[in-house]
Amino acid sequence: MPNLTSFDSPHAENAPPPQQDPGLPPRTEAVRRALHTGGRALAADLVFLEAWETEAPPDIAATLRAAQIRRANRWLAAEIRAELRRGRPLSDAERAALGAELPRHL
């Protein structure tokens, strides 16, 4: 798994995840695995991104925050989207195929 990056913003702590209590556990296996490698800021970002992928609010600030987190963690963001779309964790083969589909030039 690539390096995970937290989006560090002075406003990130003040912005609650859309439709989700920050104390709730993550919904996807991708985020659960990633939380073992990151700190508190990364955890907040990933739970926010997971909630945003589930139900994107019509809020430009939330959309911009999600875009920044996705750019910093594009492999994980793609895995979260795929897992939410399928409704189950991805197999190792599906994760490998997903990584091969991501553009290398971003």
The conformational region for residue 87 under phi > 0 = left, psi -120 to 50 = alpha, else beta, is left
Tell me whether residue 3 is in a domain. no
Residue-level pLDDT at 21: 41
Tell me whether residue 39 is in a domain. yes
**CA–CA dist 91, 12 (Å, integer):** 32
Residue-level pLDDT at 82: 92
Domain that holds residue 28: 12-101
Residue 18 burial (C-beta neighbours within 10 Å; 0-12, 13-18, 19+): middle
Which residues touch 6 (CB under 8 Å, ≥6 apart)? 38, 39, 41, 42, 44, 45, 72
Position 15 confidence tier, pLDDT thresholds 50, 70, 90: very low
Residue-level pLDDT at 104: 58
Position 61 confidence tier, pLDDT thresholds 50, 70, 90: very high
Number of folded domains that form the chain: 1
Tell me whether residue 1 is in a domain. no
Task: Please indicate whether residue 11 or residue 68 has the higher confidence score (pLDDT).
Answer: 68
